Amino acid sequence: MADGHSVAWPRSKEQQHTRQRPEHCIEQQIDQPTKWLTDHCTEQRADQADHRTDHCTEQRADHADHRIDHCIVQQTESRAGASLARLFSWTLIGNVVYAACQWAMLVVLAKFGSPEDVGIFSLALALTAPVYLLTNFQLRGILATRTKPNKRETDPGSRRKLEELGTGTYVGFRIVSSCTALLISLLLAVCGGYSAQVCKAIVLVTCAKTIEAICDIVYGWWQQHEKMRWSATSLLLRGVFSFVVFGAIYVWTGQLIPALVGYAVVWLLVLLLHDLPRAKRIEGFGVSWKTAEWGSLLRYCWPMGAVMMIVSLQSNVPRYFISHVYGNEELGYFSALMYVMVAGTTIISAIGQSASPRIAQLYASGDKKGLIYLLRRMIWLIGGGSFLLLLAVILAGKPLLTLLYNASYAAYQDMFAWITVASSIGYAASLYGFALTAARKFWSQFMVSLVVLGVLLAYTWLSIIFEGGTIHAAYALVCANIVQFIGSAWLLRKSIRECEFMKQLGV
């Protein structure tokens, strides 16, 4: 142009499109990778966020499940502990009141009668107790701890067949065995060369023991179904009413035989009016007269009957020794001192009876930790109580005996202290015995008890030879209970190891 300025001619659409195409392509080429990277990163972040969300959700769910399971376990353990405490409370109440009433009968004889009457009553109990404990075969404990057969018990001669026997077999067998014990006790009374007064006392105590044996198997049935309140009620009725009737008749007449008649009648009424009607409320209670099943039960349970007879002889051999050498009056003093220890025996029985079903379940399931924990708690409880009892006897033995009986009994404080030592050791051994029964270690207990009886007889025989006096009866009990404790502890430790071994095998 003349003026030097260039003129921009208008371009066609094709030219504009041609010019814009490279720029558009460049933008697309730049935008596409950027957009792909952005989308990819966004997807990755979304996936990671989803993964983190899912992981956190799973963790929260796992934690929630764990908390729920932990709460369920805690609630289950709490219920189990509360249930065992409730069962123990009922059993303890019944046994303590019953034992207190039985001891109160002895106090009535000591305060309103003579030591000779105490000795006659004690001798009748000492002669009949081993017979009935033999023929009872500890069926109550075996029935109460009956569980479903475990798959490891494939041997037809093992525990499996015992668990499959019906309740009626136990009841029918107990009736027959009690009648057998009645006949044996009557023969002892007639052929023992005792005075007429002692024979009459033995006959009446035998009748009462027969009634008690039937009550005992009913208690086992209730115990299996954890109806310990019914057992406690029965014991309360038998204990309180028998004491009231016995005491009233003895104070009124001053004679032992009429008082024992009232004692036996009260027990019979409680059995007929309270125990049997309530036993029938639970489905399955009855009587089976199948002698073949009785034979099976006898084969399995006779070691436990023998063990209980030997255990009874362990406490009664000193009584036979004192009655034979020193007379029924000295026996009265010794028996009165021994009966103070029945309070501890009653508590041990309550603990053992309440815990036996739980011990059997723990052993059958192979729960070693639970078994050890339960046994350890009971041992500490018994050990603490025994220590306090021994301390009280050492510090206040004479005033205690004077208060309970009269001043003539206070002269036997040294014997009382040694009886307390023997009883304290025996309490722990008895607890081990409950655990071994729940584990079905019948034969082993029999062998240990046989050794203990041998030690007791040997010591008693030496005491007679060297004329050591009645205090040696207490020394003999200490030695025997030490052997019993060591043997039972060894057997229990072996049983716990077996329990762990079975769990490792998965059976």
pLDDT at 299: 82
In a shared domain, residues 267 and 229: yes
72 HSE (CA, 13 A, CB side): 6
Q: Which of 262, 287, 312 is the last residue of a domain?
A: 287
In a shared domain, residues 238 and 318: no
Tokens of 277: 């009607």
pLDDT at 165: 73
pLDDT at 386: 83
Q: Is residue 390 part of a domain?
A: yes
CB 102 within 8 A of CB 340: no
**Average pLDDT value for residue range 259-276:** 94
Overall size of the chain counted in residues: 507
**Residue 310 pLDDT class (50, 70, 90 cuts):** confident
pLDDT at 291: 78
What is the 8-class DSSP label of residue 379? H
Query: CA 82 to CA 89: how far, in whole Å?
Result: 10
**Average pLDDT value for residue range 432-458:** 83
CB 487 within 8 A of CB 451: yes
Q: Using one digit for the tens of pLDDT, what is the confidence trace for 47-59?
A: 555 555 555 555 5
Query: CA 244 to CA 266: how far, in whole Å?
Result: 10
Tokens of 61: 């769910």
Q: How many H-runs (helices) and E-runs (strands) does the chain carry?
A: 16, 0
pLDDT at 13: 47
Q: Which residues of 478-499 are buried (b: 16+ CB within 10 A; e: fewer)?
A: bbbbbbbbebbeebbeebbeeb
Q: Using one digit for the tens of pLDDT, what is the confidence trace for 152-203?
A: 444 444 455 666 677 788 888 899 999 999 999 999 888 888 888 999 999 9
**Residue 139 pLDDT class (50, 70, 90 cuts):** confident
Looking at the 3D structure of the chain, how many domains does it have?
Answer: 2
pLDDT at 44: 56
For residue 1, pLDDT over 80 is answered with no
Query: CA 10 to CA 225: how far, in whole Å?
Result: 111
226 Ramachandran zone, left/alpha/beta (phi>0; psi -120 to 50): left
Name the residue type at position 121.
Answer: F
In a shared domain, residues 327 and 475: yes
Q: Using one digit for the tens of pLDDT, what is the confidence trace for 373-414?
A: 888 888 888 888 888 888 888 888 889 888 888 888 888 888
Q: Is residue 273 part of a domain?
A: yes
Q: Is residue 456 part of a domain?
A: yes
**Residue 14 pLDDT class (50, 70, 90 cuts):** very low
In a shared domain, residues 307 and 283: no
Q: Using one digit for the tens of pLDDT, what is the confidence trace for 108-120?
A: 998 898 888 999 9
Q: Is residue 177 part of a domain?
A: yes
For residue 478, pLDDT over 80 is answered with yes
Q: Using one digit for the tens of pLDDT, what is the confidence trace for 225-239?
A: 777 788 889 999 999
In a shared domain, residues 251 and 201: yes
For residue 22, pLDDT over 70 is answered with no
Higher confidence at residue 160 or residue 324? 324
pLDDT at 247: 95
**Average pLDDT value for residue range 361-365:** 76
Query: CA 56 to CA 179: how far, in whole Å?
Result: 73
In a shared domain, residues 330 and 262: no
In a shared domain, residues 307 and 270: no
Q: Cα–Cα distances in Å, from 281 out to 157, 218, 284, 286?
A: 33, 12, 9, 11
Q: Which of 230, 255, 287 is the last residue of a domain?
A: 287
Higher confidence at residue 455 or residue 502? 455
Which residues lie closer than 8 Å to 359 by C-beta, 6 or more apart?
Answer: 145, 371, 374, 375, 434, 435, 438, 439
Tokens of 271: 């059995």
Q: Is residue 161 part of a domain?
A: no
In a shared domain, residues 316 and 205: no
Tokens of 204: 């009446």
**Average pLDDT value for residue range 305-329:** 85
pLDDT at 203: 93
In a shared domain, residues 216 and 184: yes
**Residue 25 pLDDT class (50, 70, 90 cuts):** very low
**Residue 26 pLDDT class (50, 70, 90 cuts):** very low
Q: Is residue 23 part of a domain?
A: no
Q: What percentage of residues in the chain have a pLDDT greater than 90?
A: 19
Expressed as residue numbers, the domain containing 326 is 303-507
CB 424 within 8 A of CB 389: yes
For residue 490, pLDDT over 50 is answered with yes
Q: How far is CA 72 from the centre of its chain?
A: 26
In a shared domain, residues 273 and 310: no
Q: Which of 259, 287, 315 is the last residue of a domain?
A: 287
* Average model confidence (pLDDT) across the chain: 77
In a shared domain, residues 216 and 280: yes
Query: CA 158 to CA 162: how far, in whole Å?
Result: 7
Q: Is residue 116 part of a domain?
A: yes
pLDDT at 52: 54
**Residue 491 pLDDT class (50, 70, 90 cuts):** confident
**Average pLDDT value for residue range 287-310:** 81
Q: Is residue 89 part of a domain?
A: no
For residue 5, pLDDT over 60 is answered with no
**Residue 105 pLDDT class (50, 70, 90 cuts):** very high
For residue 38, pLDDT over 70 is answered with no
Query: CA 333 to CA 401: how far, in whole Å?
Result: 11
pLDDT at 406: 84
**Average pLDDT value for residue range 100-104:** 88
pLDDT at 381: 82
In a shared domain, residues 312 and 446: yes
